[in-house]
Structure 1
Amino acid sequence: MGTFHFFKKYRQHILFYVLPSSLVLLFGFQNCGRGFSADEFSSTSLNSISGGISDKVCVSTSPVGQALVRKLNRAELNFSLQDLLEVTGDYTVGIAPDASDVSGFTNNAENLQLDSDYVYALMNMTEKAVGDALKKTNSPYLQCAAGQNAACAKQKLSELGKKAYRRPITTAEETLLMDIFNKSQAQSLSFQDSLGFAMQRVFMSPVFLYRSSYSGIVTARGVKLSSHELATRLAYFLWSSVPDAELLAAADSNQLSTPEQIQVQVKRLMASPKADRFIRNFTREWLGMQKLQAAVRTGLTDDLKKDMQEETERLMLAVAREDRSALDIINADFSYINANLATLYGISGVAGTDFRKVEFSPLQVPRRGLLTQGSLLTITSSPTETKPVARGSQILNGITCNPPPPFPDGLTVTPLADSPNSNLTITERMAEHRKVGTSCYNCHKEMDPVGLGLENYDQIGRFRTTYASSGNPVDATGSIRNVAFQGGMQLVDILAQQNDFKRCLTKKLMTYAIGRSMTTADQCAIQTIGDDFVAQKRTFSDLIAAIVMSEQFLYNQTSSRGE
């Protein structure tokens, strides 16, 4: 049927033929897996990257962290359907948002569980996606050289199955799909309707919905990913979607077995527009951009919030697309702004809604990198004033990965009372947190001085030297790791010179790439890669290649099912 409304008409057919086998397999595919001992970290693969690594290689005798069975998250599922079926809709609107409470990323296996509500939403989603694909004019799935018959259906389903399952389809899988097609035909359904049911079964299979990392060779270091599992991990890291034909062909022919072969594919994938998905999604989740759109501030319009987020993502895209040093993420002396942001930043000569590159130093604008952008400064403020505690926490947790001590159990916190002396600066008020002997001391002695160093930027990121409410001069004296600084520019200098940001960015990227939390077993790799590949002499692609070449990416600790 041209409009593909048969799913409604034949809903019982779906429930009888497609859903039962999917339910059994899906619920039987939840996280499992036991540990597998591994050898010490090796720098062989990293040395294959241009320039090699330094002599400061730490040595770990711990196994790589364990990767669990991992379900596709909402973004990955939607992009996979779009790329496989060549459709453009947003098919995941009926699925609840993914949680990000573990590691901050929604692709973490510990977040991605499945229940009956999800399965029924998946059924509706795949109906719509397959329907859109088949109702397209001259849909390739309906083009059959020798007529629309079982032989054509088998070819179409085998081709789709290989792409969706990210490996050659087995005889048993092919037989199952053809059984659904043949039973549909036996009930006098059209070729299009019968093929549609079988196609839907492809997307309700756990082989499509879950990613594996346990079928490769067992070595002293762990289970090495098979060539098809490696192709899948690469594609979902850099494209948030399935491998394309070229990457699958490389896996088929075992052309992902050397560092040089892998680097060729990394470079190709990063050059594709699909890599923007990775950059944008990583940036949003790493920095907590979802909080920006919910923010309410005086002077903060919906358009300005969108522009703030776009500025942040464009800087990250520039670092990746221009293959700049990863240090530019926090140290770039430029940004991409439009008239809205130019007004906010006090920059003249920028008109219209289009974004353009602006160099800061020639204009003597006190901004560099992410930390002085309106987006981060806004989400770490309250509606009426800045929040040095939140700003310090954001930097310690997300930028340096040196969080303050955990909140003590049973501690009752009483907010600071407003001082009767309204002329006290926020620096003087915050000093109450850091009185030795108080319950606040251990945490706030680390957070407050970092956040106070950004006091020159108000609650939506405007630069100021005095407080509008009192006229008092702003005191932007701060310190981090016992190093004193004055204002945001000096803070950026310190972060660019120390190793904390380098290792933290590596940790965040590796967490996102593999889809699991990092453990102490991974610290050696994080230290080695961060210290050597987040540097002025290195590029962003060097950093990505180093992560892909790490044992954390190429191996799995478990010898059972798991990613």
Structure 2
Amino acid sequence: MTASEYNNTVAHLLGTSLRPADGFPAFGAKGFDANASALSSLSQVLVQGYYDAAKKLAEDAFSSDAQRAAILVCDPAESADAGCARDIIERFGLRAFRRPLEEAEVERYVAQYTHALTALEMSPVQAVQHVVRTLLTSPSFLLRVEIGPDSKRAPGALNGHEIASRLSYLLWSSLPDEALFDAAARDELATEDELRSQVDRMLADPKSAAFLQNFFGQWLGTRTLPSHDADTSLFPVWNDDLKGAILEQANAYFGEFMTGGRPWSEFLTAPHPESPLLAPLYANDPEGGRGGFLTLPAFLTLSSRADRTSPTSRAKTILVQLFCVPMAPPANVDIPELGAASGDGVPIDNVRKQLEKHRESPDCASCHDVLDPIGLSLENFDPIGAYRTEYPNGDAIDASGTYDGTEFQDISGLLPELQRAAESGACPSEQLFAYALRRTPTSEDRRALEEITARWDGGTIAVLVKEVVTSEAFRLRPARDEAQ
């Protein structure tokens, strides 16, 4: 599990407000946090963190009547034998491991309960707490385990509980709820209709806020907004309240495409959710001068530096994140900071002029010729997303350019060209596929991705989720070599 998934899982499993994973070491994933390649090995520091967290979580889970009652489905003190403890272990174990415990596992944990009563001289409730702590350190709790194909299914098929976990960690970043566990137990998640119905139900649940934060937040970068800063000497309206409002607006915007019925074809043009706190950023907007993701304060801020805009960063984010265009700097080239090319050390006021100097280097020109027209088209928006017509030094802003043969005066003239590039919807499909499958798509996934994109046809993100979860890639385990 990722740090976010761990915190959400223990919150829903135990009713705790503790967030122990905030102190875990980062995995350093390439792409999404949940990429399995980054989660396949555990450092000793992380393992110790899991053990320390389990102790604190178990203590917290038994510290209040409400939390304790959610675990103690019966009173172990009133049971002459370990029958009540067995019921508790089976019930709690199902939710902790996201699957029914095997009989041998139940017996092992019941034996641990009995040992705690006798050898450790614990009370029945303390003994249950001791077992809960142990369950929270098991690989079956800490890892997203998919054991193997169900003998009743075709080879490679996931069983109901494995599908339930895939769904819940995709849309809630947490364990399944009772409805998903029940559907898994009744073997209902094998049908496409049931999967689509579950997606609708789960996206309507408040827990789907985790999907906004973790999928959109990682894909389009908004998750980093809380740690982003602007130079308050240059932008005095910047503060934590404004930053919070920028993030809330972005999440509300994403939500319109997830559950609000707005099609992806409008992602670059849709009106922005209103926010009174953001009024200072919109105060100087010309009529009809703003709309779509690219003029959201969230995007404009995150793709800027603290003291100035970064057209190169804005353009690279658009091409790489929205269009999945692979970009890498030329090999063996030492790329200087913008402004270093002139060597005068003067603060950058007119970014366009500095970029023109940057392009004088043949090593830099190859990338900047592609990036600069896109990035400079947004120069009317400052580093915190407010509209402007001139630079700090008084120079008039020139946001014009030529991209792929199309001349434009500012972003409004470039948008039709960018919309055409986004029409296929291939990039969102690829991003969601990678997030849902917890791995980078390979060449073998190309056909599946093309089919998902064609069926989605640029509809809502909810429809795209349904296409991904009903695909064979999501529902089946990849074929494995028997020799492995």
TM-score w.r.t. structure 2 length? 0.88
Deviation at 1:137, TM superposition (A): 1.6
**Aligned counterparts of 1:500 and 1:222: Cα–Cα separation in 2:** 37
Deviation at 1:124, TM superposition (A): 1.8
Change in 2 beyond 3 A, CA 1:343/1:326: same
Q: Give the structure 1 partner of residue 460 of structure 2.
A: 539
Q: Give the structure 2 partner of residue 110 of structure 1.
A: 37
The 8 Å contact of residues 230 and 307 in structure 2, kept in 1 or not, is answered as no
Q: Report whether the alignment pairs 1:345 with 2:282.
A: yes
The 8 Å contact of residues 78 and 91 in structure 1, kept in 2 or not, is answered as yes
Q: 1:60-459 maps to which residues of 2 (within 5 A)?
A: 72-100=1-29, 102-103=30-31, 105-112=32-39, 113-138=41-66, 139-140=68-69, 141-142=71-72, 144=74, 147-149=77-79, 150-186=82-118, 187-213=120-146, 215-216=148-149, 223-292=156-225, 293-297=227-231, 298-299=234-235, 300-339=238-277, 341-346=278-283, 364-404=287-327, 406-415=328-337, 416-418=340-342, 426-434=351-359, 438-459=362-383
Task: Give the secondary structure class of the aligned counterpart of 1:322.
Answer: coil
The structure carrying a bigger helix percent of its residues is 2
The 8 Å contact of residues 270 and 292 in structure 2, kept in 1 or not, is answered as yes
**Aligned counterparts of 1:530 and 1:367: Cα–Cα separation in 2:** 28
Change in 2 beyond 3 A, CA 1:432/1:520: farther
Q: Give the structure 2 partner of residue 45 of structure 1.
A: none
Task: Give the secondary structure class of the aligned counterpart of 2:22.
Answer: coil
Deviation at 1:480, TM superposition (A): 4.6
**Aligned counterparts of 1:199 and 1:290: Cα–Cα separation in 2:** 32
Deviation at 1:489, TM superposition (A): 2.7
**Aligned counterparts of 2:111 and 2:20: Cα–Cα separation in 1:** 27
The 8 Å contact of residues 377 and 391 in structure 1, kept in 2 or not, is answered as yes
CA deviation digits over 1:4-59, x for unaligned, max 9? xxxxxxxxxxxxxxxxxxxxxxxxxxxxxxxxxxxxxxxxxxxxxxxxxxxxxxxx
Unaligned runs of 5+ in 1: 1-71, 348-359
The 8 Å contact of residues 107 and 515 in structure 1, kept in 2 or not, is answered as yes
Sequence identity percentage: 28
- Worse-matched range after superposition: 246-255 or 284-293: 284-293
**Aligned counterparts of 2:446 and 2:151: Cα–Cα separation in 1:** 23
Deviation at 1:239, TM superposition (A): 0.8
The 8 Å contact of residues 452 and 477 in structure 1, kept in 2 or not, is answered as yes
Equivalent position amino acid for 1:124 in 2: D
Change in 2 beyond 3 A, CA 1:147/1:408: same
Unaligned runs of 5+ in 2: none
CA deviation digits over 1:289-312, x for unaligned, max 9? 354323232322222222212211
Q: Give the structure 1 partner of residue 414 of structure 2.
A: 491
Task: Give the secondary structure class of the aligned counterpart of 1:255.
Answer: coil
Bigger relative contact order (CA 8 A; separation at least 6): 1
Pairs aligned (count): 468
Deviation at 1:254, TM superposition (A): 1.3
Equivalent position amino acid for 2:96 in 1: A
**Aligned counterparts of 1:331 and 1:313: Cα–Cα separation in 2:** 16
Deviation at 1:456, TM superposition (A): 1.0
**Aligned counterparts of 1:241 and 1:85: Cα–Cα separation in 2:** 12
Change in 2 beyond 3 A, CA 1:491/1:177: farther
Task: Give the secondary structure class of the aligned counterpart of 1:468.
Answer: coil
CA deviation digits over 1:171-224, x for unaligned, max 9? 111111112111110121111211011111112111111113451269999723
Give the alignment partner of residue 388 of structure 2, picking from 456, 464, 489: 464
Deviation at 1:143, TM superposition (A): 5.2
Change in 2 beyond 3 A, CA 1:158/1:217: closer
- Worse-matched range after superposition: 318-327 or 543-552: 318-327
**Aligned counterparts of 1:511 and 1:480: Cα–Cα separation in 2:** 30
**Aligned counterparts of 2:264 and 2:412: Cα–Cα separation in 1:** 18
- Worse-matched range after superposition: 131-140 or 482-491: 482-491
Equivalent position amino acid for 1:410 in 2: N
Task: Give the secondary structure class of the aligned counterpart of 1:84.
Answer: helix
Deviation at 1:425, TM superposition (A): 5.0
- Worse-matched range after superposition: 304-313 or 285-294: 285-294
Change in 2 beyond 3 A, CA 1:371/1:423: closer
Q: Give the structure 2 partner of residue 39 of structure 1.
A: none
Task: Give the secondary structure class of the aligned counterpart of 2:242.
Answer: helix
**Aligned counterparts of 1:423 and 1:117: Cα–Cα separation in 2:** 43
Change in 2 beyond 3 A, CA 1:145/1:120: closer
